[in-house]
Each structure stands twice: as C-alpha cells, then as structure tokens.
C-alpha cells in the first residue's frame, strides 16, 4: 500500500513539473514523496526487526 502511495505521489509530482505548475504544487508533491519514502523505510525496518520472541525464550531455564 505504501509503495502505491509513493508511486502515485511521484507520478503526480512529475506531472506538476512537466506541466510547469506553480512552485507550491511540486514542492508539496516533493514533500509527500519524502514522507512516503520515510514511511517505507519504517515499514522495512520494523518488518525485519519485529521483536517477536518465541515461547522458548520467555520460559526460564
């Protein structure tokens, strides 16, 4: 889902640049892409380090 947001915001920002829209449109589009990339990084980070432990680790020896 986050990848689709990133692609959509990237295409939208590219469209604004190609159509020579006012600066605030492509600046806000660029900000949205940066936020999407930040969220994507968080998804990847927390997916790989979920912190879920097995039941064996919870039991005392």
pLDDT tens profile 7-22: 999 999 999 999 999 9
Residue 53 has pLDDT above 70, yes or no: no
Q: How would residue 26 be classed by pLDDT, with cut points 50, 70 and 90?
A: confident
Please state whether the predicted TM-score (pTM) of the whole model is above 0.85: no
Report the distance separating Cα 17 and Cα 30, nearest Å. 10
Give yes or no for residue 28 having a pLDDT over 70. Answer: yes
Q: Is the pLDDT of residue 60 over 90?
A: no
Sketch the domain layout of the chain as residue ranges: 2-48
Query: Percent of the chain beyond pLDDT 90?
Result: 52
């Amino acid at each position: 889902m986050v990848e689709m947001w990133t692609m959509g915001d990237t295409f939208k920002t590219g469209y604004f640049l190609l159509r020579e829209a006012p600066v605030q449109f492509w600046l806000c589009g660029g900000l949205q892409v940066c936020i999407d990339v930040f969220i994507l990084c968080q998804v990847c980070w927390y997916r790989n380090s979920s912190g879920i432990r097995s039941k064996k680790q919870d039991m005392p020896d």
